[in-house]
A and B are shown apart, each in its own frame.
Chain A
Amino acid sequence: MIHFNRTLLRNGLTVLCNTDRNTPFVSVNILYKVGSRNEQDTRTGFAHLFEHLMFGGSAHVEDYDRHVQLAGGDSNAYTTNDLTNYYITIPADNIETALWLESDRMAALNFSQHALDVQKQVVIEEFKQRYLNNPYGDVWLKLRPLAYQVHPYRWPTIGMSPEHIEKATLTDVKNFFHHYYAPNNAIISLSGNIETDKAFSLVEKWFGDIPAHHLPLPEIPGEPLQTRERRLVIPDNDVPADAIYKVYHMGGRTSENFYTCDIISDILSNGQSSRLYVNLLRNSRLFSAIDAYVSGDKDPGLFIFSGKLSEGTTIGQADQAIEEEIEKFIRDTISERELQKVIHKTESRISFSEINYQTKATNLAFFEFLNNPELINTEASHYLAVTPEKIKTTAIGTFRKENCSTLWYLKKKN
Chain B
Amino acid sequence: MPNRNTAPSIVPLSAPKLLTPEHFTLDNGTEAIYLHDPNQEVFKIDVIFEAGIYYQPSPLIAATTINMLGEGTLHHNAEEIAGIFDYYGAYIDFCCGLNKSEVSLLSLNKYAEPTVRMLAELLTESTIPEKELKIFLTNKRQEFLVNQEKTSYLARKKFAAVLFGANHPYANQIREQDYTATTLQQIRSFYQKYIHTRKCRLVLCGNINDSLLKLVNNAFSYTLAPAPEEDFHTPIFQPEKAGHYPVYKAPAVQTSIRIGKTGVSLTDPDYAGFMLLNTILGGYFGSRLMSNIRENKGYTYGIQSFNVCMPQSSYWCITTEVNKEYTQATLQEVEKEIRRLQTEPVPSEELQLVKNFLHGDILREIDGVFAQADALKHKLNYGLDNRFYTTMIEQIKACTPAELKQLAQKYWQPEEMYVITAGE
Contact B10 A71 (CB under 8 A): yes
Q: Is B59 an interface residue (CB 8 A)?
A: no
Instruction: Return the chain A residue nearest B4 by Cβ.
Output: A60
Contact B285 A65 (CB under 8 A): yes
Could you say which interface size class chain A belongs to?
35 or more
Q: What sequence of 0s and 1s flags, for each residue 121-156 of chain B, a beta carbon within 8 Å of any chain A beta carbon?
A: 000000000001001001100110110111100000
Q: Is B297 an interface residue (CB 8 A)?
A: yes
- Looking at A71, A89, A337, the one whose CB has the most chain B CB atoms below 10 A away is A71
Contact B299 A125 (CB under 8 A): yes
Contact A60 B367 (CB under 8 A): no
Contact B253 A133 (CB under 8 A): yes
Contact A71 B254 (CB under 8 A): no
Contact B254 A24 (CB under 8 A): no
CA distance A388 to B79 in the complex (A): 23
Interface stretch, picked from B22-30, B191-199, B357-365, is: B357-365
Q: Provided the pairs A71-B356, A121-B298 are in contact, do residues A288 and B142 lie with their beta carbons within 8 angstroms? A: yes
Instruction: Return the chain A residue nearest B139 by Cβ.
Output: A288
State the Cβ distance, B398 to closest chain A Cβ, in Å.
Answer: 17
Q: Is B228 an interface residue (CB 8 A)?
A: no
Instruction: Return the chain B residue nearest A73 by Cβ.
Output: B360
Q: Provided the pairs A132-B253, A352-B106 are in contact, do residues A240 and B2 lie with their beta carbons within 8 angstroms? A: no
Q: What sequence of 0s and 1s flags, for each residue 114-143 of chain A, a beta carbon within 8 Å of any chain B beta carbon?
A: 000111111101101100111110000000
Q: What is the size, in residues, of chain B's interface with A at 8 Å between Cβ atoms? A: 75
Q: Provided the pairs A94-B10, A122-B300, A122-B301 are in contact, do residues A351 and B139 lie with their beta carbons within 8 angstroms? A: no
CA distance A72 to B1 in the complex (A): 26
Q: Provided the pairs A344-B87, A345-B86, A348-B89 are in contact, do residues A273 and B363 lie with their beta carbons within 8 angstroms? A: no
Contact B360 A72 (CB under 8 A): yes
Q: Is A278 an interface residue (CB 8 A)?
A: yes
Contact B138 A209 (CB under 8 A): no
Q: Which of B7, B148, B150 contacts A134 (CB 8 A)?
A: B150
Q: Is A67 an interface residue (CB 8 A)?
A: yes
Contact A133 B321 (CB under 8 A): yes
Contact A100 B7 (CB under 8 A): yes
CA distance A274 to B83 in the complex (A): 8
CA distance A132 to B321 in the complex (A): 12
Q: Which of B82, B83, B89, B139 contacts A347 (CB 8 A)?
A: B89
State the Cβ distance, A78 to closest chain B Cβ, in Å.
Answer: 14
Contact B145 A241 (CB under 8 A): yes
Q: Which of B4, B85, B87, B138 contacts A59 (CB 8 A)?
A: B4
Contact B87 A238 (CB under 8 A): no
Instruction: Return the chain B residue nearest A205 by Cβ.
Output: B2
CA distance A118 to B296 in the complex (A): 7
Contact B42 A355 (CB under 8 A): yes
Instruction: Return the chain B residue nearest A126 by Cβ.
Output: B301
Q: Which of B42, B88, B108, B286 contacts A65 (CB 8 A)?
A: B286
CA distance A280 to B79 in the complex (A): 13
Q: Is A69 an interface residue (CB 8 A)?
A: yes
Interface residues of B in 68-95 (CB under 8 A from A): 70, 78-80, 82-83, 85-90
Instruction: Return the chain B residue nearest A348 by Cβ.
Output: B89
Instruction: Return the chain A residue nearest B108 by Cβ.
Output: A348
- Looking at A136, A271, A285, A349, the one whose CB has the most chain B CB atoms below 10 A away is A271
Residues of B within 8 A of A128 (CB): 253-254, 321, 323
CA distance A208 to B75 in the complex (A): 64
Contact B146 A239 (CB under 8 A): yes
Residues of A within 8 A of B82 (CB): 271-273, 277
Residues of B within 8 A of A118 (CB): 295-298
State the Cβ distance, B356 to closest chain A Cβ, in Å.
Answer: 5
Interface residues of A in 42-95 (CB under 8 A from B): 59-61, 63, 65-67, 69-74, 76, 89-91, 93-94
CA distance A337 to B108 in the complex (A): 18
Q: Which of B111, B132, B284, B301 contacts A69 (CB 8 A)?
A: B284
Instruction: Return the chain B residue nearest A238 by Cβ.
Output: B149
Q: Is B332 an interface residue (CB 8 A)?
A: no
Contact B1 A209 (CB under 8 A): yes
Q: Provided the pairs A72-B13, A125-B298 are in contact, do residues A278 and B87 lie with their beta carbons within 8 angstroms? A: no
Contact A282 B78 (CB under 8 A): yes
CA distance A305 to B282 in the complex (A): 39
Contact B17 A282 (CB under 8 A): no
Interface residues of B in 280-298 (CB under 8 A from A): 284-286, 294-298
CA distance A337 to B111 in the complex (A): 16
Q: Is A314 an interface residue (CB 8 A)?
A: no
Interface residues of B in 322-357 (CB under 8 A from A): 322-323, 352-354, 356-357
CA distance A107 to B5 in the complex (A): 13
Contact B86 A240 (CB under 8 A): no
Residues of A within 8 A of B88 (CB): 344, 348
Interface residues of A in 131-173 (CB under 8 A from B): 132-136
State the Cβ distance, B193 to closest chain A Cβ, in Å.
Answer: 26
Contact A288 B138 (CB under 8 A): yes
Contact B70 A272 (CB under 8 A): yes
Q: Is B368 an interface residue (CB 8 A)?
A: yes
Contact A72 B7 (CB under 8 A): no
Contact B7 A67 (CB under 8 A): yes
Contact B146 A240 (CB under 8 A): yes
Q: Is B311 an interface residue (CB 8 A)?
A: no
State the Cβ distance, A194 to closest chain B Cβ, in Å.
Answer: 13
Q: What sequence of 0s and 1s flags, for each residue 1-45 of chain B, a beta carbon within 8 Å of any chain A beta carbon?
A: 110110110110110010000000000000000000101111000
State the Cβ distance, B122 to closest chain A Cβ, in Å.
Answer: 13
Contact B86 A241 (CB under 8 A): no
CA distance A355 to B151 in the complex (A): 37
CA distance A24 to B79 in the complex (A): 43
State the Cβ distance, B1 to closest chain A Cβ, in Å.
Answer: 6
Q: Which of B5, B252, B299, B363 contacts A25 (CB 8 A)?
A: B363
Q: Is B237 an interface residue (CB 8 A)?
A: no
Residues of B within 8 A of A76 (CB): 285
Contact B4 A349 (CB under 8 A): no
Residues of B within 8 A of A270 (CB): 86
Q: Which of A60, A126, A288 contacts B5 (CB 8 A)?
A: A60
Q: Provided the pairs A74-B364, A133-B321, A272-B86 are in contact, do residues A278 and B300 lie with their beta carbons within 8 angstroms? A: no
Q: What sequence of 0s and 1s flags, for each residue 309-350 of chain A, a beta carbon within 8 Å of any chain B beta carbon?
A: 011000000000000000000000000010011001111110
State the Cβ distance, A411 to closest chain B Cβ, in Å.
Answer: 10
13 contacts between A and B (CB under 8 A): A60-B5, A71-B360, A72-B357, A72-B363, A94-B8, A119-B298, A136-B146, A209-B1, A282-B132, A341-B83, A347-B89, A348-B88, A348-B108
Which residues does B use to contact A, with CB under 8 Å?
Answer: 1-2, 4-5, 7-8, 10-11, 13-14, 17, 37, 39-42, 70, 78-80, 82-83, 85-90, 106-108, 111, 132, 135, 138-139, 142-143, 145-146, 148-151, 251-254, 284-286, 294-301, 321-323, 352-354, 356-357, 359-361, 363-364, 367-368, 370
Q: Known pairs A24-B367, A74-B357. 10 more at Cβ < 8 A?
A: A60-B5, A72-B13, A73-B360, A91-B14, A100-B4, A123-B301, A205-B2, A274-B86, A348-B88, A355-B370
